[in-house]
Amino acid sequence: MVFWRKKKAETANDAPVDMVPNTTSSGQPESNQSASPNESQAPATQSGGWFRKIRELLKTDIRDLWKSEGQLVDDAFLSELYAKLVRTDMGGTTATKIRDSIGNTYRARKIELEDVLNVIREQVSQALSSKAGALNRASSGPTIILVVGVNGSGKTTSIAKLSHRLVSQGNRVLLGAGDTFRAAAVEQLKIWSDRIGCDIVLGEHGADPASVVFRTVQRAVAESYDICILDTAGRLQTQSNLMQQLEKIKRVIQKQVEDGPHEVLLVLDATAGQNAISQAKGFSEAAGCTGIVLAKMDGTAKGGVIVPIAEQFSLPVKFIGVGEKLDDLTEFNAEEFSDALFG
């Protein structure tokens, strides 16, 4: 069930894997950001769009259960409600808790939509509480952030959005184009860096990604950058040789920054449903991830997938991606999230 799908940018972005930011015919990045740097720091709840839309659509979907004012809570109602909840991908455990809580309190009585939304909000907030997390920062020297995930999950775009956010907050950011595997990947990050106005260390196509990472971290330390964000090529959690490559990359980082990387962010595609869950498992075991970025939350009504992901892994959800533009990244906050969705 897809409630709505955000309109894609009318550019090369249409090609998911080879996506590059908008460019003019001269190859220069277009200045088409939707908000000023100040606005970009506002969470998506304030900047409007995404949360409001998904809430309205969820409400509409659940409201469909009301045949008349005040709906009788019986087995038929409870199982229909359960089905609607499961369709948000929130997972059977939380959906069962919500259904049972409503059944226990309201069975054989009439219930209003608001009462149901309150129970949902409470249970989702409970499931997600303490699952949010701020970005880890180095106690001294540059904060090194390694970004990993399967092909096309949204790594490079999330790096661009995160860099934009950090630059807007006054940080000096250095990017490392460590995806030397996919043709055009380096150029993709380069175009973003030009648009954001941050520095970048480029890699040769086909070069050892660890060498690009080495040069990037070396420069970040030598030139006292605040943040260094390293892109990597997409890989499956089952490709053990490629997972070992991530280990090598981490060792290369640690040669220069002993306590690095300070973050290993796993970018998951929210539309991947149950696949996202197995990716979270595989990557967190093999790559020592420290946090999750849940990208493409705007592309699905199944935003509920965040619940089982956060519940099953001890990984905090740090950011959610809600679109393809630089401003479309918001910090994850459990209470705000469940309020926004079900409030």
When asked if residue 152 is in the footprint of ligand GTP (CB under 6 A), the reply is yes
Question: What does the alpha-carbon distance between residue 320 and residue 272 come to, in Å, rounded to a whole number?
Answer: 14
Q: Closest residue (Cβ) to ligand GTP?
A: 234
When asked if residue 156 is in the footprint of Mg ion (CB under 5 A), the reply is yes
Binder among 16, 70, 197, 273 for ligand GTP (CB under 6 A): 16
When asked if residue 17 is in the footprint of ligand GTP (CB under 6 A), the reply is yes
Q: Which is nearer to ligand GTP, 174 or 267 (CB)?
A: 267
Question: What does the alpha-carbon distance between residue 197 and residue 326 come to, in Å, rounded to a whole number?
Answer: 12
Signed CA dihedral, 196, 39, 337, 13: sign only: negative
Phi then psi dihedrals of residue 80, to 5 deg: -65, -40
Signed CA dihedral, 36, 37, 38, 44: sign only: positive
Residue 89 backbone class (left: φ over 0; alpha: ψ -120 to 50; beta: rest): left
Report whether the peptide linkage leading into residue 142 is cis, meaning its omega lies within 30 degrees of zero: no
When asked if residue 298 is in the footprint of ligand GTP (CB under 6 A), the reply is yes
Binder among 22, 123, 125, 153 for ligand GTP (CB under 6 A): 153
Interacting positions 114-133 with ligand GTP (CB under 6 A): none
Residue 149 partner contact from ligand GTP, Mg ion, none using kind-dependent CB cut-offs of 5 to 8 Å: ligand GTP
233 close to 120: Cβ distance less than 8 angstroms: no
Question: What does the alpha-carbon distance between residue 173 and residue 193 come to, in Å, rounded to a whole number?
Answer: 10
Binder among 55, 155, 250, 318 for Mg ion (CB under 5 A): 155
Chain position carrying tokens 């990472």? 213
Residue 152 partner contact from Mg ion, ligand GTP, none using kind-dependent CB cut-offs of 5 to 8 Å: ligand GTP
List contacts with ligand GTP (CB under 6 A): 6, 13, 16-17, 19, 149, 151-157, 179, 182, 185, 234, 267, 295-296, 298-299, 321-324, 328
List contacts with Mg ion (CB under 5 A): 155-156
